[in-house]
Amino acid sequence: MLKLLLRDGEAFEGETALDLVRAMKGASMLSDVKDVLHYVAAVQGRLKEIEGIELTLTGEKLDDRCESFARELERLGLARLQHLSGADLDQVEHMVRETARLLNAGDLPGAWKFLRPKLRLTPDELGELDRRVGLHTKKED
């Protein structure tokens, strides 16, 4: 699962980069854009015209072009691309807090230190949970 967080706070999720770009196109006010490739070209043109930002896109196939588009947005600081496992972070956070309460006599740092390496979450998800439980640690892959 991928998540693209734009600098204005708008977020899009999808299984592939193509899914992300389709979602972006669907939310776009560019009503004259017919398909995903035209949407990418329109955004590329507007960024160059309005902000002077040049997107360097590669790939002839639709999937490759969308992947290149998402990576370029991230490289230029226009968006942040996250890889997600699809885990329900609310449930994981609840489990961490309950483990601390029940097994660690309320020792949240101890419970988190124990559980963190055992969770099958992406670095982005672990970072989000670090923030949620208020324990910012180094990312462990």
pLDDT in tens, the chain (141 residues): 899 999 999 999 999 999 999 999 999 887 788 899 999 999 999 999 999 999 999 998 999 999 999 999 999 999 999 988 888 899 999 999 999 888 878 888 888 888 999 998 988 899 889 999 888 755 444
Report whether 92 contacts 99 (CB < 8 A). Answer: no
pLDDT for the residue numbered 140: 47
Q: What is the largest CA-CA distance in the chain?
A: 60
pLDDT for the residue numbered 138: 52
CA-CA-CA-CA torsion sign (96, 119, 86, 56): positive
pTM of the full predicted structure? 0.69
Report whether 93 contacts 133 (CB < 8 A). Answer: yes
Angstrom distance (rounded) from CA 30 to CA 34: 9
pLDDT for the residue numbered 141: 44
pLDDT for the residue numbered 137: 55
pLDDT for the residue numbered 73: 96
